[in-house]
């Protein structure tokens, strides 16, 4: 047991740095800070450049642990494929060593989903360059890869409601497909709460039935929530 009051207070105040990695920007926010900061990303953004840029951006911030929302498949806290819209070198990179502290990494859609979860069976769909997806059932987060499932005419869900679909179909037809995809996935997964997020959600004139709109800030909330159990453990230890 911790006996020094100062040590006990420090254990309870777990400071988290949340990093939301996107195709155009990397956003960061830390415990106790109100305003996110960001740097540009893009095709030349490697894992090493991301870490270097974030460390420079947050040089005046203190943090104990890091949460990373990664734009790709993450298994057991590690990316298993290089991101489509960024540079190389993400798979196999030692983020813990680079930041010098414990790391928790999840898919970016999963991190945003965790941030907007209110209970029950929630389906999150992120309309961006592709189609991000995650499901949370009774508090248990399950990242999903629905984007590349077959949808119509030999094309996938992502081909219709991702950026390629928006460019190919135009906004009016794209909106109809978004509504149809949401309806199909909601029924198939028996979701009682559906959240639409991602940068292209702004192009929807109205939300599909039974859906609500997510916010960009949800990703940061989700990043903080990744460490809730650790924070509770520390509080009990004091």
Q: 70: Cβ–Cβ under 8 A, 6 or more apart, which residues?
A: 21, 79, 83, 90, 105, 106, 107, 108
* CATH superfamily for domain 117-214: ATPase, nucleotide binding domain (3.30.420.40)
Q: Could you tell me where the beta strands, DSSP code E, fall in the chain?
A: 16-21, 25-30, 37-40, 65-70, 74-75, 78-79, 103-107, 121-127, 131-137, 140-144, 150-152, 155-156, 193-197, 211-213
Query: 135 pLDDT exceeds 90?
Result: yes
Rg (C-alpha) for the chain, rounded Å, is 19
Q: What percent of the chain has pLDDT over 70?
A: 94
Domain 5-108+219-237 has CATH 3.30.420.40: yes
pTM of the model: 0.87
Which residues make up the CATH 3.30.420.40 domain(s) of the chain?
A: 5-108+219-237, 117-214
Cα 211 from Cα 209, distance rounded (Å): 6
pLDDT in tens, 215-234: 889 999 999 999 998 877 77
Q: What is the mean pLDDT of residues 206-219?
A: 90
**DSSP helix/strand/coil, 151:** strand
What's residue 4's pLDDT? 39
Q: Is residue 1 very low, low, confident or very high in pLDDT (cuts 50, 70, 90)?
A: very low
Pair of tokens at residue 45:
């953004």
Specify which residues 196 forms β-bridges with.
Answer: 125, 213
């Amino acid at each position: 047991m911790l006996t020094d009051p100062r040590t006990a207070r420090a254990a309870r105040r777990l400071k988290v740095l949340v990093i939301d990695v996107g195709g155009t920007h990397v956003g960061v926010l830390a415990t106790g800070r109100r305003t996110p900061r960001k740097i540009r990303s893009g095709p030349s953004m490697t894992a090493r450049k991301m870490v270097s840029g974030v460390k420079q951006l947050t040089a005046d911030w203190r943090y104990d642990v890091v949460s990373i929302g990664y734009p790709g498949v993450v298994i057991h806290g590690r990316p298993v494929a290089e991101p489509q819209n960024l540079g190389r070198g993400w798979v196999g990179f030692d983020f813990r060593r680079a930041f010098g502290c414990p790391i928790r990494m999840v898919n970016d859609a999963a991190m945003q989903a965790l941030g907007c979860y209110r209970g029950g069976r929630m389906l999150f769909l992120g309309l961006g360059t592709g189609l991000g997806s995650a499901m949370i059932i009774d508090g248990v987060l399950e990242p999903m890869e629905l984007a590349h499932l077959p949808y119509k005419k030999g094309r996938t869900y992502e081909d219709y409601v991702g950026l390629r679909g928006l460019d190919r179909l135009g906004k009016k037809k794209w909106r109809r497909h978004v509504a149809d995809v949401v309806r199909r996935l909601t029924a198939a997964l028996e979701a009682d709460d559906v959240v639409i997020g991602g940068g292209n959600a702004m192009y929807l004139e109205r939300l599909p039935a039974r859906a609500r709109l997510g916010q960009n800030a949800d990703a940061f909330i989700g990043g903080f929530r990744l460490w809730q159990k650790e924070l509770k453990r520390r509080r009990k230890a004091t």
